[in-house]
Each structure stands twice: as C-alpha cells, then as structure tokens.
Amino acid sequence: MDRRELLAAERGTLFKEAETRIALVYPSPYHTAMSSLGYQQIYRTLHAMPFVAADRAMLPEPGSEGRFETLETGQPVGSYPMLAYSVAYELEIAGVVETLERASIPPLREQRAPHHPIVIAGGPLTFSNPAPLLPFCDVIIVGEGEELVVELVTLAREVGFDREKLLAALDGRPGYYLRGEVVPKVAQASDALLPARTAIMTPHTELSDMFLTEAARGCSRGCTYCVMRRSTNGGMRIVERERIIEGIPPGTRKVGLVGAAVTDHPDIIEIVRDVVAGGRQVGISSLRADKLTDDLVGLLAKGGYRTLTVAADGASERMRRVVERSTKAHHLLRSAELARMHGLKTLKVYMMLGVPSETDDDVDELIELSRQLAAIHPKVAYGLAPFVAKRNTPLDGTHFAGIDVVDARLTRLRRGLSKAGLGGKVEVRATSARWAWVEYMIAQGESVAGLAIMDAHRAGGSFAAYKKAFAARDVIPTGPRARVPSSQELIALRRKQLAV
C-alpha cells in the first residue's frame, strides 16, 4: 500500500505549512507505528510548536523498493534537517540501522558529515538501556519526551541545525544522553501534559481504528522485572475520569485505555461504564487479575471483549513471590470464572519462563493450575515469554536462563498438559527463546552491542548472524550481579531496598 492510500484511510492527519519540518521515524512498519501512543503523542507535540511540523516515516514492509519518503509530503527522509526516532524495544534498533541506510545516511554518527541530518531518538527503550542505540544517534532523550523534544528542537532551530553547536548547547542539561557519558536520570513530563491521546486513527493498525488515551502513567506496583514500576517517576500518575472521557472525540466507536496498570485506577469501573455508554467498544492495555470484579468484566463484555487477558508472569506461587507479583492462583481461577460467566470465549494468561531460581517443580505447579483453569473455562491460552532482565530494575544483571533451559521447560509444560488430557483445552503460545536471548544480550549490553546489531542486520538478521556478531564484537552482558541469585537473596535484596 503506497503512502497516498494510507493517508486516504486516516482520520486526524495533521497537515501544516511550517518553516521547519522534522522527519518522525518509527523503526517498524506502519501498522505497528500507528499503534504506538508515544509515537502519536510526539507527532502531536511537534505539530503544536510554532514554525514546526512533523512528517512521518516508517520502516518499509519487507521487499519494498523505491525511495524512502515521508507520508505527509513524499519528501526523501534524508533531506530533512533532523530525524526523530521513537524506539520501543531492543530488536527495533535493527530498524534504525535499516531506515538510516534507506535514507542514504551513514548509520554511525561518527561517519556523518555536517550536511547530514541530526539524528535523535527517544521512546520506551530509553527507560531501561539506551546505550546500544547511542552509536546511531547524536542525541537520545531519556524517559518522557514531551517537554524535552520541544526544548531540543527549539535549540536546534536557534543554532541552525548545526550538530556540534547543538551538542554544546545540550551539554549538562538533564534528560539528554550524549556521546557516551553516564546515562541521565529518566525524565518526567509535567502532569499537565497528560493524558497522551491518539492524533490519527486508521484501520491499518494492530488496533484498527481504536482511539487510545492514557488512563494513568507509570505504575503503583513493585514487580522486580519491570521498568515501569512504582520507583519510576513517582509511580502511578492518575488521569482524572473527566479528562479521559472529555478527550474522546465525538463519533468514536472504539476506545483503548492505556497504561501500565489501568485497572489500578480508582475510578476504572466508572470510566469503562462511561466509555461503553452509547455502544462504544473498549480495550484496556493491562488487566490485573486481582482487580477484576463481576461489574468490570461485565462492562468489558458489553464493550466488545471476547478474550479476557491477564498476567501471572511467574509459573508458580513461589515464582510470583520472587518477582513480587501480587497475582495469586485464586485470582487467576476467579478470572476464569468471570470469563465464563460473561461469555468470553478465551481466558489468556501471560507467563514468563526462566525466571531466576525457577525449577521444574514450578512448571509442574503451572500444569496443575492449568487443570483447574480448564475445569472452569473451556478455552485457556498461555502467552509464554522467556524472562529477560532489564536495566533500571532490581533484577538488572540477572543472567538469562539459557535457550536450552527455557525450551526444556516449555517442552515439560506441553508434555504435562498433554499427559493430563489438556492438549485441546489449554493452548500454549510461546515466543522464541533464541530471540529472547538476543534481546537479553542487547538489553544488558553497552554501546558495542549496537555495533553488533548493525553487523548482524547487514549479514541478513538471522539468529546465527546475531550470535556471530556478538562474538566478533565481544559483547558481554554487564550488570550488578555475576550469577543468578536465589529466591531468598532476591527477597533480602528487596527488603534492603525498601528499608533504604
């Protein structure tokens, strides 16, 4: 689909004549980019600046040929004075390399000439470890970027988009990661700028014509594997019910409530009730099993829910205690009951395998829980992902369990379900342990990991290419711990942190 067809299907596209135009680039294809609320928020923010407009560009679909150009104007991406990237997670860094190459810009910042565009980046990845992104960027905004991107673009205009002058002007200012110095503290935007809301709706996204709005930013919980936890930017910042509802455009038929822990909002039931009034559909980005009630699930069913999705994360009660996840088995069983009572077709449960100190006994406990869930609801699906330690979390530096270990645990689970006669009742959907290991190597790596990503991408981007590139670049995960801690050590560490 070409850019004209994409634009014709959009509602809310911002067209503006402006003295300065910025290319806002997403390193994944259109359908993923336009599902990103952060990407849309920065698009809206840049357009609100005097004399500035943002033109979008996304990673072309595989096999696409032709000029790499922006949607709004059809101009070559490499002709802009500044490229602003939004990067969600580690594996998208390969998309940064590819889009720079498609724009005829040297991917490595040190190889660029003065006439090349200034390349900046921000996004969810910066909350954990932006170091592997640094070789490709002149400036990285760390954390919430609504205010910093305005400051950065304003300064860039003042110095005529001169790279060295801009870096000098930014030196010492909080929130900017420049040329390899210590990563700054995660920035926090003013609460007055909340909530982020969809600017453009389109059917060509993962969420198809759904209007997204924040219900809260951050989280009040302390799960030890998560970057968006209560210690990040003051924890959970609530958006008032009235502001959420008032911001929904007239005629909207689908509304998505976004946040790390939306069901922790004190007014969540009334917000959902307001949304579904008049026949609107509703979606929530994160359902906490311990917060589900008959009223809430009934409203979700009325708002179009067909699958009730919750997260357990640990395979057993012990593992959930290790990662300080408040979800317990009885919460999951109650979720199954509510899904059945309200006619939802599937109960989906997110799980992690390979969590520190996990054993086969924990997997066996999950098999037993599966038997109980299947006795309540006719269709249960597990979304299983290998645990990957992230920077800026209490589990930073924890080793990856191992591809063989994760695959063996997954095999044990599937065999156990089959032996229990649950093969047709409990579906297991697992992400690749190999690619989780690649993500881990990047998440725990330094800037040299970014160079390995570039090498692997140029060699075809296969798992073998990444493995070879990590070895050639001597990429070694670094962190505060050199071994997998026991569950007792993790609990003791958390108690010590709370005491401080």
More confident of the two residues 179 and 43: 43
10 Å CB burial of residue 346 (0-12, 13-18, 19+) is middle
Of the three residues 147, 177, 207, the one that is the final residue of a domain is 177
Q: Residue 373 pLDDT more than 90?
A: yes
pLDDT of residue 499: 46
10 Å CB burial of residue 267 (0-12, 13-18, 19+) is middle
Structurally, the chain folds into a number of domains equal to 2
Q: What is the domain-level CATH number for residue 130?
A: 3.40.50.280
pLDDT digits (tens, 9 = 90+) for 138-159: 999 999 999 999 999 999 999 9
466-491 average pLDDT score: 69
Of the three residues 124, 147, 177, the one that is the final residue of a domain is 177
Name which of 160-169, 283-292, 296-305 the model is least confident about.
283-292
- When pLDDT is cut at 50, 70 and 90, the band that residue 387 belongs to is very high
Domain boundaries, position 104:
3-177
62-86 average pLDDT score: 95
116-129 average pLDDT score: 97
165, 310: one domain: no
Q: Is the dihedral of CA 259, 264, 266, 272 positive or negative?
A: positive
171, 312: one domain: no
499, 360: one domain: yes
323-333 average pLDDT score: 94
416-435 average pLDDT score: 95
User: Is residue 230 assigned to a domain?
Assistant: no
User: Is residue 263 assigned to a domain?
Assistant: no
pLDDT of residue 285: 87
Q: What is the DSSP letter of 94?
A: H
Helix (H) or strand (E) segment spanning residue 141: strand 139-141
User: Is residue 164 assigned to a domain?
Assistant: yes
What is the pTM for the complete model shown? 0.93
Question: What average pLDDT does the structure give for the chain?
Answer: 94
171, 22: one domain: yes
pLDDT of residue 455: 98
User: Is residue 144 assigned to a domain?
Assistant: yes
pLDDT of residue 500: 35
How many CB atoms sit inside 10 A of residue 278's CB? 8
pLDDT digits (tens, 9 = 90+) for 197-211: 999 999 999 889 999
User: Is residue 464 assigned to a domain?
Assistant: no
Given a contact cutoff of 8 angstroms between Cβ atoms, the answer to whether 389 and 336 are in contact is: no
User: Is residue 114 assigned to a domain?
Assistant: yes
Cα distance between residue 120 and residue 140, in whole Å: 6
pLDDT digits (tens, 9 = 90+) for 205-244: 988 999 999 999 999 899 999 999 888 998 999 999 999 9
173, 321: one domain: no
Of the three residues 113, 143, 177, the one that is the final residue of a domain is 177
Name which of 59-63, 101-105, 345-349 the model is least confident about.
59-63
User: Is residue 26 assigned to a domain?
Assistant: yes
pLDDT of residue 207: 87
User: Is residue 322 assigned to a domain?
Assistant: yes
pLDDT of residue 492: 53
